[in-house]
Amino acid sequence: MSILVIVDHANAALDPSTHGTVGAAAIIATFTGLDVHVLVAGRDGLGAAEAATRIAGVSKVILADGQDAILAVEKIAGDYLHFLAPATVRGKCLAMELAEKLGLAPIDAVTAILNAETIQQAIAAGRVSGVAPTSEATSVITVNVADFDEAAAEGGGAVLHKMDPRVMYLPQPLEFEEAQSSRTSVDFDKRSSNVLKHAAVFRALSNKLETAVSESRALHERIRLARQPCID
């Protein structure tokens, strides 16, 4: 199990909030012994992901290029105990949505991590201590990055893992035929045969529709003529 930092980026550049969020994750890692991973999701994120591999204290960077961050996290959530995002507008929205999907209450605006069981949160004009994530409980946290030391931008050597987009958006198979007995495999010839069957069905349906339309037009024409007054 590990800690996942979900970062924002503008194409090749990591958002300035990244290093403070990683700094907070590093403190949790100190108390729990967990590794720190970084997720870079969205379009054109390769440059940002490569920059993230150089951040001190990060052992793995996951690039979900062109993919939605929440969908990406859902696929790998089972590998992580703690999810961190910066306490920006986008980070808070992301944390709220992720926490809801995981059935958790997000821990917002963390200003300090005192130990494995106690954190400090910003509430309105003051601060209040509260129960923090432990090594057993899963948590979704947003970080007030200004209150944490930033992780060094250089000096790390994390592994870069590219998430396969086909795994993210694998479409469900479409069934056109009536229910048949279960089959363990379908070869290319059978699939081709099914396509031909579907084409034949569609052609027959098209012919029926064309016939119905023609009959309807003829009926309307007869009604129109019947309503016209006779002219001697």
Which of 168, 201, 218 terminates a domain? The answer is 168
- Tens digit of each residue's pLDDT (9 = 90 or more) over 96-108: 999 999 999 889 9
Q: d(Cα 224, Cα 156) in Å, to the nearest integer?
A: 83
Which of 129, 147, 168 terminates a domain? The answer is 168
Looking at the fold, whether 117 and 181 belong to one and the same domain comes out as no
Looking at the fold, whether 20 and 69 belong to one and the same domain comes out as yes
pLDDT attached to residue 178: 42
Phi then psi for residue 141, to 5 deg, are -125, 135
Whole-number percent of the chain with pLDDT over 70: 66
Q: Are 86 and 52 within 8 A, CB to CB?
A: no
Query: 184 versus 205: which is more confidently predicted?
Result: 205
Looking at the fold, whether 123 and 225 belong to one and the same domain comes out as no
Q: d(Cα 187, Cα 182) in Å, to the nearest integer?
A: 14
Task: Say how many CA atoms lie within 13 Å of 160 toward its Cβ.
Answer: 18
Which of 168, 195, 211 terminates a domain? The answer is 168
Looking at the fold, whether 155 and 187 belong to one and the same domain comes out as no
CATH code of 12's domain: 3.40.50.620
First to last CA, the chain: 95
Q: Are 142 and 107 within 8 A, CB to CB?
A: yes
Mean pLDDT, the chain, as a whole number?
79
Looking at the fold, whether 93 and 199 belong to one and the same domain comes out as no
Between 54-63, 151-160, 189-198, 212-221, the lowest mean confidence (pLDDT) is in 189-198
Query: 39 versus 8: which is more confidently predicted?
Result: 39
Residue 1 has pLDDT above 60, yes or no: yes
Looking at the fold, whether 119 and 183 belong to one and the same domain comes out as no
Identify the domain containing residue 217 by its residue range: 172-232
Residue 201 has pLDDT above 50, yes or no: yes
Looking at the fold, whether 164 and 177 belong to one and the same domain comes out as no
Residue 41 has pLDDT above 60, yes or no: yes
Looking at the fold, whether 113 and 72 belong to one and the same domain comes out as yes
Q: d(Cα 30, Cα 34) in Å, to the nearest integer?
A: 8
Residue 145 has pLDDT above 60, yes or no: yes
SS3 content of the chain, % helix, strand, coil (to 5): 40, 25, 35
Looking at the fold, whether 142 and 189 belong to one and the same domain comes out as no
Looking at the fold, whether 97 and 195 belong to one and the same domain comes out as no
Looking at the fold, whether 8 and 118 belong to one and the same domain comes out as yes
**169: confidence class by pLDDT, cuts 50, 70, 90:** very low
Looking at the fold, whether 55 and 106 belong to one and the same domain comes out as yes
56 Cβ neighbours under 8 A, 6+ residues apart: 151, 152, 153, 154, 155, 156
- Tens digit of each residue's pLDDT (9 = 90 or more) over 72-120: 999 999 999 999 999 999 999 999 999 999 999 889 999 999 887 788 8
- Number of domains into which the chain is organized: 2
Residues counted in the chain:
232
Between 11-15, 179-183, 202-206, the lowest mean confidence (pLDDT) is in 179-183
144 Cβ neighbours under 8 A, 6+ residues apart: 87, 109, 110, 111, 122
* Whole-Å CA distances, 62 to 30, 117, 152: 22, 28, 19
**What are 159's strand-pairing partners?**
60
Global confidence as pTM = 0.68
